[in-house]
Chains A and B, each alone.
Chain A
Amino acid sequence: MTTARRDAERNRRKVIEAATRLLGRDPSASLLEISQASGVGRTTLYRHFSDRNALVDSVLEEVIDRARERAIAVQADPEDPVHAIRALSEVHLETALLMGPLIQARDGASPVIEATKESEKGPTRVFLAAARRAGTIRTDQPLTWQQTVMRVVILTAVDRVRDGVAIEDAQLLVADTLVSILVPPGS
Chain B
Amino acid sequence: MIDAAVEALADNPDAGIDEIADFSGHGRSTVYRHFPSRQAVLEAAVADISAKSNDGYRRIIESHDDIRATLFEIGVHSAETALRHRFVYLSGFEVQQLFTRAAGDDDLPVARFLEDAQRRGEIRRDLPVEWLMLQLAALTIALVGDVESGRIGCSEAPRILGETFSAMVGLRS
Contacts and interface: CB of A to CB of B under 8 A. Distances in A.
Indicate the size class of the contact surface on chain A. Answer: 20 to 34
B164 A181 contact: yes
Contacts of B170: 180
A185 interface: yes
A142 B145 CA distance: 15
A181 B151 contact: no
Nearest to B68: A185
Interface of A: 140-142, 144-145, 148-149, 151-153, 155-156, 160, 173, 176-177, 180-181, 185-186
Given A148-B143, A153-B138, 14 more contacts: A140-B163, A141-B164, A145-B160, A149-B164, A151-B142, A153-B135, A156-B134, A160-B131, A177-B127, A177-B131, A180-B167, A180-B168, A180-B170, A180-B172
A148 B134 CA distance: 15
B124 interface: yes
B117 interface: no
B126 interface: yes
Nearest to B128: A173
- Nearest 4 interchain pairs by C-beta: A144-B151, A152-B142, A152-B138, A156-B138
Contact of B163 (A141, A153, A156, A186): A141
B131 A173 contact: yes
B152 interface: yes
Contacts of B139: 149, 152
Contacts of B168: 177, 180-181
A141 B172 contact: no
Interface string B115-146: 00000000010110001001100110011011
19 contacts: A141-B160, A145-B146, A145-B151, A145-B160, A148-B142, A148-B143, A148-B145, A149-B139, A149-B142, A152-B135, A152-B142, A153-B138, A176-B127, A177-B127, A177-B168, A180-B168, A180-B170, A181-B164, A185-B172
